[in-house]
Amino acid sequence: MKKVLKKPQASQLHPVPNEAANRLRFFTERKDAITETIRQLVEIESPSDNKAAVDQLGVLLAGRFEKIGGHAKFHRAQSYGDHLQVDFSGARSGKPVLLLGHIDTVYPMGTLSTMPCRVAEGRLWGPGALDMKSGIALILHALEGLRTWHGDTVPRPVTVLLVTDEEVGSESSRRITESLARKSEAVLVLEPSYGLKGAVKTARKGVGEYTVKVTGKSAHSGLDFDKGESAVVEMARQITAITKLVNLKRGLTLNVGVISGGTRTNVIPAQATASLDVRVTHMKDAAAIDRQLRALKPFNRKCKLEIKGAVNRPPMERGPGVAMLYKKASEIAKGLGWKLEEAAVGGGSDGNFTASLGIPTLDGLGGVGEGAHATHESIIISELPRRATLLAELIERT
Ligand SMILES: [Zn+2]
């Protein structure tokens, strides 16, 4: 056994350059303030389908960003909350870096009464804590840090976009996200990190949703069995055909998640519907699977088949822009004495839109925790300082 004379300091185990250490200390001293911001954001519920609630949080956030020198404006949305854009002009000129996130959560109004926001076991628990109110808090505090170190201004132009419909497909915000991304140097997405080690996300699958509708012909199952054309039987055969399109090796999956059909046991069903979720790893599979689904033909020629849907989030592939940003982030993390891992995940985010436009995008820069969309959703408080440091340095160096 090695003889240890003096207990090594943490800094000796992982040598940390001075400036990075100072910045980490800055955020460590503000850990409680960051936690308090997250608590405040979690305690204002913001389900995607409740415009008034989401708008209330949007207004509060606009105020917080204005307080640290940002110029806030809203993109009005009719059925969702207004999307919030905040611009910071920055000490040097050039393209901004886009910090992307969403205000909405999947939790219906009133969830706080059964799932209250609380701090326990070193974590902050509550609806949306991980996905992604901690990410929003990290943006606020990272920008505040940068302003402190750079004489009350951020070192480079920054645009923040917080949309309100990400959890329901981003139909209303997609164009805003894409147009701001096109004007930006890079996009940093504050969605939750992956796993308890806090890996960033460098690849995400593309996501699509389709509905298959079969129309047959109803008849009395006892008196006129031969006159009916069962939509349910036809649907069963279609589901088998659809399932054969799965290609796990290529990361291409189809899940028929919901089916319905028929009216009574003694009626040959005239209607059946199936809804499916499609995930693609590669861009070219999106078009191919769309073609294959649309080419489905009825097995029973007397039944009618209708197919609707699309791949609405293209995959985020690990292109050169993504790889370059990951390299930069892992160098920053290394300087802080930590190994930042990367992960490829099946879920989509708005980062899929920006990456597929060829804009360098790094996702999963938000909080570290578990239980997104679940009753045990929580973030690890001790991870907040280094996530804030990483974000601040990435904004500065990108
Ligand atoms: Zn999210």
Question: What is the rounded CA–CA span in Å between residue 197 and residue 8?
Answer: 24
Of 35, 31, 64, residue with least CA distance to 133: 35
CA–centroid distance, residue 363 to ligand 1 (Å): 10
Tell me: the pLDDT tens digits for 198-243? 999 999 999 999 999 999 999 999 999 999 999 999 999 999 999 9
CA of residue 210 to ligand 1 center, whole Å: 22
Distance 102 CA to ligand 1 centre (A): 7
Residue 338 has which token pair?
């930590």
Query: Ligand 1 centroid to 345 CA: how many Å?
Result: 13
Beta carbons of 35 and 379 less than 8 angstroms apart: no
pTM reported for the whole predicted model:
0.88
Q: Find the 42 Cα to ligand 1 centroid distance in Å.
A: 14
Given this model, what pLDDT does residue 19 score?
A: 85
CA atoms within 13 A on the CB side of 65: 27
User: Ligand 1 centroid vs 189 CA: distance in angstroms?
Assistant: 10
Element spanning 280, H or E: strand 271-280
**pLDDT value at 44 more than 90:** yes
Q: What is the CA(10)–ligand 1 centre distance, in A? A: 34
Beta-ladder partners of 71: 87
pLDDT at 326 over 80: yes
CA of 75 relative to ligand 1 center, distance in Å: 20
Copy the structure tokens of residue 19. Answer: 């400036």
| Rounded-to-integer distance, Cα 322 and Cα 5, Å | 45
Q: How far apart are the CA of 41 and the centre of ligand 1, in A?
A: 14
Q: Which amino acid is at 274?
A: A
Tell me what pLDDT residue 11 has.
42
Lowest-confidence segment of 90-94, 111-115, 160-164 by average pLDDT: 90-94
Q: Is the pLDDT of residue 141 over 60?
A: yes
| CB-based contacts of 248, cutoff 8 Å, min separation 6 | none
For residue 124, the CA-to-ligand 1 centroid distance in Å is 17
pLDDT of 10 strictly over 60 = no
Q: What is the pLDDT of residue 15?
A: 52
